[in-house]
Amino acid sequence: MRIGVLFGGRSGEHEVSLASAAAVVHHLDLSHYEPVPILIGKDGRWSQPERPPTVVQASELIEHARLRAAGTVRNHQDGIPGRPRINEPSAMVQELALDVVFPVLHGPYGEDGTVQGLLEMIDMPYVGAGVLASAVGMDKAVMKQLFAANNLPQVDYRIIRQSDWTSTPDAICKMIASELGFPVFVKPANLGSSVGISKVTSAKNLKAAMAYAAEFDRKVVVEQAVPNAREIECAVLGYNQLEASIPGEVVPSREFYDYEAKYVDEGSLLRIPAPLDTELTDKVQHLAVTAFRAIDGSGMARVDFLLNDETKELFVSEVNTIPGFTTVSMYPKLWEASGVAYVELLNRLIQLALEKHAAKKLLRTSFP
């Protein structure tokens, strides 16, 4: 089977995607699969790289991008020599005669349902969440509303539209101070990798944080900070039958798990399994599956939680439909610890993609 590995992308998480895709390409079982890497440039152009992406840490790629942005390195396409082929992505995917596409794209224009829509249009089986779950998983505001509808425990939050912010900033600041209090986290609704996120500890920093988040999206989510927060993550795999992995824990190297802590500074620690008692472990796994269903997920997702370490209150934070996929990333490591090695995980995800595609084919499309 020819597996198209789609990577790069028009998002701030371009470099992270290169690192994830390299690991996927290098772990596909070559006795069954032929990897076909497809690079999406930051400009949105699709091309077939001459060589597959190499396994490097996301931090190296990010450093490289930084140097390039500073003008130190020139004419170097993300470290991968690109040969632009066909500008029209759907024609390209069809011409390559792929059997399954694995989108290893993080963030907007990749994890948000746009690429999934293109693959649906050309009837191409693909790994992971469909259009709806991808879009919901990328929109923290809609995701929270679906969590609420499914009675999932979450922190108190408000959704603020950019236009309201622009017209009545003072009233909004007042409302946040009185209804949520401090500290709060301020986040753009549609983003990932902690981009645009600030922790605000007092009223005087709220305006700057709001304005910053509003630069990234037209909706801003403001939520109460969980005190003594521990970050618990659980991997979900499946289509009709869902399985939850053993939970893991991230111990960020910085005040919170921001972009630097995630990809640049490698001091963050993963604890697998997360040191939790049996009751909390069961709760995490149960809530992970419920959250996955709430957004209508399929294939895979990593469900993230915040645990108040003092009161042991557990809050669902978000679902990531294309989690990091490097060999040191949480999603594959959680499965490895749960008895599914990386190579086998890829097999399972490809099988699930085919299963979903076949099931959809059986649905009636006409009636007498």
Ligand X SMILES: Nc1ncnc2c1ncn2[C@@H]1O[C@H](COP(=O)(O)OP(=O)(O)O)[C@@H](O)[C@H]1O
Residues found near ligand X in the complex (CB under 6 A): 155, 185, 187, 192-194, 197, 223, 225-226, 229, 231, 252, 256-257, 304, 306, 317-318
Can you give the chain as a three-state secondary structure string? Answer: CEEEEEEECCCCCHHHHHHHHHHHHHHCCCCCCEEEEEEECCCCCEEEECCCCCCCCHHHHHHHHHHHHCCCCCCCCCCCCEEECCCCHHHHHHHCCCCEEEEECCCCCCCCCHHHHHHHHCCCCECCCCHHHHHHHHCHHHHHHHHHHCCCCCCCEEEEEHHHHHHCHHHHHHHHHHHCCCCEEEEECCCCCCCCCEEECCHHHHHHHHHHHHHHCCEEEEEECCCCEEEEEEEEEECCCEEECCCEEEECCCCCCCHHHHHHCCCCEEECCCCCCHHHHHHHHHHHHHHHHHCCCCEEEEEEEEEECCCCCEEEEEEECCCCCCCCCHHHHHHHHCCCCHHHHHHHHHHHHHHHHHHHHCCCCCCC
| Closer of 61 and 226 to ligand X (Cβ) | 226
Closest CA to 301 of 335, 326, 271, 260: 335
Cα–Cα distance between 128 and 63 in angstroms, integer? 29
| Closer of 227 and 275 to ligand X (Cβ) | 227
Shortest Å, Cβ 154 to ligand X: 9
Tokens for 38? Answer: 């497809």
| Closer of 125 and 247 to ligand X (Cβ) | 247
| Closer of 29 and 309 to ligand X (Cβ) | 309
| Closer of 211 and 225 to ligand X (Cβ) | 225
| Closer of 78 and 217 to ligand X (Cβ) | 217
Shortest Å, Cβ 46 to ligand X: 26
Q: Identify the burial level of 36 via C-beta atoms within 10 angstroms of its C-beta, where 0-12 means exposed, 13-18 middle and 19 or more buried.
A: buried
Cα–Cα distance between 343 and 6 in angstroms, integer? 18
Shortest Å, Cβ 62 to ligand X: 15
| Closer of 14 and 27 to ligand X (Cβ) | 14
Residue reference for tokens 């990932």: 192
Shortest Å, Cβ 133 to ligand X: 15
| Closer of 50 and 156 to ligand X (Cβ) | 156
Shortest Å, Cβ 147 to ligand X: 12
Shortest Å, Cβ 122 to ligand X: 29
160 beta partners: 220
Cα–Cα distance between 221 and 318 in angstroms, integer? 12
| Closer of 47 and 198 to ligand X (Cβ) | 198
| Closer of 298 and 320 to ligand X (Cβ) | 320
Shortest Å, Cβ 222 to ligand X: 10
Shortest Å, Cβ 204 to ligand X: 20
Shortest Å, Cβ 193 to ligand X: 5
Shortest Å, Cβ 120 to ligand X: 25
